[in-house]
Amino acid sequence: MTADLIGRLREVVGPSGLISDPGEMAGYLTDWRNAYTGTAAAVVRPGSTEEVAGVVALCREAGVAVVPQGGNTGLCGGAIPDSSGRQVVLSLTRMRRIRDLDAANQTITVEAGAVLQSVQEAAAAAGRLFPLSLGAQGSCTIGGNLATNAGGTGVLRYGTTRDLTLGLEVVLPDGRVWNGLRGLRKDNTGYDLKQLFIGAEGTLGVITAAVLKLFPAVRSRATAWVALPGPQAAVDLIGVLRGLAGDRLTGFEIMSRQSVELVLRHSSGARDPFGDRHPWYALVELSDSLPVAGLDGVIESALGEAFEHGLVVDAVVAANPAQAAALWALREGISEAQNHEGPSLKHDVTVPVSRIPAFVEGTDRALEGAVPGIRIVTYGHIGDGNLHYNLSKPVGSGDEEFRARAGALARVIYDSTRAFDGSISAEHGLGQSKRGIIADYKDSLELDLMRGLKQLFDPRGLMNPGKLL
| Identified binder of ligand 2HG from the candidate list 87, 390, 416, 433, rule CB under 6 A | 390
Pick what 467 binds: ligand 2HG, ligand FAD, none; C-beta below 5 to 8 Å, kind-dependent.
ligand FAD
Query: Whose CA is closest to 69, among 43, 41, 49?
Result: 43
Backbone angles phi, psi at 28, to 5 degrees: -95, -5
| Identified binder of ligand FAD from the candidate list 17, 46, 152, 343, rule CB under 6 A | 152
Residues 99-138 contacting ligand FAD, CB under 6 A: 112, 134-136
Pick what 382 binds: ligand 2HG, ligand FAD, none; C-beta below 5 to 8 Å, kind-dependent.
none
Query: Whose CA is closest to 110, among 120, 98, 101?
Result: 98
Query: Whose CA is closest to 306, among 206, 254, 215, 238?
Result: 238
Residue type, 178: W
Distance separating alpha carbons of residues 348 and 380, to the nearest angstrom: 9
Distance separating alpha carbons of residues 301 and 307, to the nearest angstrom: 10
390 pairs with which residues across the strands? 377
| Structural Rg of the chain based on CA atoms | 23
Q: Does 312 bind ligand FAD (CB under 6 A)?
A: no
Residues 191-220 contacting ligand FAD, CB under 6 A: 201-202, 206-207
Residues 321-340 contacting ligand 2HG, CB under 6 A: 335
Residues 436-465 contacting ligand FAD, CB under 6 A: 464
Backbone angles phi, psi at 434, to 5 degrees: -110, 5
Q: Please say whether the beta carbons of 211 and 183 come within 8 A.
A: yes
| Identified binder of ligand 2HG from the candidate list 273, 380, 431, 465, rule CB under 6 A | 380
Distance separating alpha carbons of residues 289 and 84, to the nearest angstrom: 51
Pick what 380 binds: ligand FAD, ligand 2HG, none; C-beta below 5 to 8 Å, kind-dependent.
ligand 2HG
Options 54-62, 65-73, 290-298, 321-329: segment touching ligand FAD (CB under 6 A):
65-73
Helix (H) or strand (E) holding 5: helix 3-13
Rounded to a whole number of angstroms, the minimum distance from the CB of residue 349 to ligand FAD is: 13
Rounded to a whole number of angstroms, the minimum distance from the CB of residue 386 to ligand FAD is: 8
Q: Does 427 bind ligand FAD (CB under 6 A)?
A: yes
Q: Does 412 bind ligand FAD (CB under 6 A)?
A: no
Q: Does 79 bind ligand FAD (CB under 6 A)?
A: yes
Task: Compute how many other C-beta atoms are within 10 angstroms of the C-beta atom of residue 124.
Answer: 13
Q: Does 73 bind ligand 2HG (CB under 6 A)?
A: no
Distance separating alpha carbons of residues 469 and 91, to the nearest angstrom: 22
Give whichever of 49 and 106 is closer to ligand FAD, judged by the CB atom: 49
Q: How far is CA 393 from CA 34, 40, 304, 340, 344, in A?
A: 18, 33, 38, 11, 8
Q: Does 248 bind ligand 2HG (CB under 6 A)?
A: no
Give whichever of 5 and 116 is closer to ligand FAD, judged by the CB atom: 116
314 pairs with which residues across the strands? 227
Task: Compute how many other C-beta atoms are within 10 angstroms of the C-beta atom of residue 150.
Answer: 28
Q: Does 135 bind ligand 2HG (CB under 6 A)?
A: yes
Q: Does 40 bind ligand FAD (CB under 6 A)?
A: no
| Identified binder of ligand 2HG from the candidate list 96, 157, 194, 388, rule CB under 6 A | 388
Q: Does 92 bind ligand FAD (CB under 6 A)?
A: yes
Distance separating alpha carbons of residues 199 and 430, to the nearest angstrom: 10
Task: Compute how many other C-beta atoms are within 10 angstroms of the C-beta atom of residue 276.
Answer: 8
Query: Whose CA is closest to 391, among 377, 381, 379?
Result: 377
| Identified binder of ligand 2HG from the candidate list 221, 248, 346, 467, rule CB under 6 A | 346
Q: Does 87 bind ligand FAD (CB under 6 A)?
A: no
| Identified binder of ligand FAD from the candidate list 96, 389, 467, 469, rule CB under 6 A | 467
Distance separating alpha carbons of residues 381 and 387, to the nearest angstrom: 6
Count, residues near ligand FAD per rule CB under 6 A = 37
Q: Does 338 bind ligand FAD (CB under 6 A)?
A: no
Rounded to a whole number of angstroms, the minimum distance from the CB of residue 246 to ligand FAD is: 24
Q: How far is CA 206 from the centre of its chain?
A: 18
* Site of interaction with ligand 2HG (CB under 6 A): 75, 135, 335, 346, 380, 388, 390
* Site of interaction with ligand FAD (CB under 6 A): 32, 67-75, 78-79, 92, 112, 134-136, 140-141, 143-145, 147-148, 150-152, 201-202, 206-207, 335, 427-428, 431, 464, 467
